[in-house]
Amino acid sequence: MTITFEPAIAPGTRPELPSGPPKLSRDLLRQAERDTLATPRMAYSLLARMMFKPVDLLYGKQGSFTKFAMLETIARVPYQAWERMGYWAVHRHAARSALARRVFERIVEARADQDNEQWHLLIMQDLVQRNGERQTWLLHRAAPWAISFFYYHVSWMLFLVRPDWSYRLNAEFEDHAEHEYMTFVAENPALDLVPDPGTYAAEYGRHRSVADLLRQIGHDERTHKLDSLESMREPRVR
């Protein structure tokens, strides 16, 4: 008897990659801003406050493109930590292919969010340069590295002992970022009149104004937060 397998995906075509957070229309972006501003911030843990406090002290309480570039540098760190832990788990469960595949699905998700954060960082760096804002080695190289180093190790260690805490910490970080972006847009109405330079339009999309671009990024952060809260409900892949 010959066993034939129907391929799930026709040869010559590619499976779809996770597309990342949805791109919103102009009206939905404004609605997203109102929704965020009407939602109270999460109750931040001590660990989260240990990161937010030095950031506020070093870069100011008010939002700015340099501060956001700094936040985006550290934003992708937990996703990297989870990706690394995921590969370790795939290897460990290699004999149980269904479980290894589910772990791998989480890795793919973490990588999609990491890429999304990477675009945020590139967009912020572009806005910093266009605005001629100065970045120093100490504040914009050494300090982000030190905070990332701390965050990375906290993320993987937490993930090892209590993965739900690791997801919760990220949800708090994302909630903070979401509120920072939307508050900044609300406090700077002139940004609605500045056209989106569209430097990464091919990869990220192009909005009408810098304000809409920031609203879209703020909404991405909310999506990341909701993903982490969802993962908290089933922190260990079974």
Interacting residues with Fe ion (CB under 5 A):
72, 75, 117, 120, 174, 221, 224
Burial class (CB in 10 A: 0-12, 13-18, 19+), 84: middle
Is 51 or 75 the residue whose CB approaches Fe ion more closely? 75
Report the C-alpha gap between 56 and 16 in whole angstroms.
40
Is 94 or 108 the residue whose CB approaches Fe ion more closely? 108
Q: What is the DSSP string of 92-149?
A: HTTT-HHHHHHHHHHHHHHHHHHHHHHHHHHHHHHHHHHTT----HIIIIIHHHHHHH
Q: How many CA atoms lie within 13 A of 193 on its CB side?
A: 3
Q: How far is the CB of 116 from Fe ion (least distance, A)?
A: 7
Structure tokens at 149: 């180093």
Taking residue 157's Cβ as centre, other Cβ atoms within 10 Å add up to 14
Q: How far is the CB of 72 from Fe ion (least distance, A)?
A: 5
Q: How far is the CB of 80 from Fe ion (least distance, A)?
A: 13
Q: How far is the CB of 8 from Fe ion (least distance, A)?
A: 31
Is 209 or 224 the residue whose CB approaches Fe ion more closely? 224
Is 172 or 174 the residue whose CB approaches Fe ion more closely? 174
Is 93 or 115 the residue whose CB approaches Fe ion more closely? 115
Q: Which residue has the tokens 């590619």?
A: 14
Q: How far is the CB of 122 from Fe ion (least distance, A)?
A: 11
**β partners of residue 209:** 195
Is 116 or 209 the residue whose CB approaches Fe ion more closely? 116
Buried b / exposed e over 22-32, threshold 16 CB at 10 Å, is eebeeeebbeb
Q: How far is the CB of 21 from Fe ion (least distance, A)?
A: 9
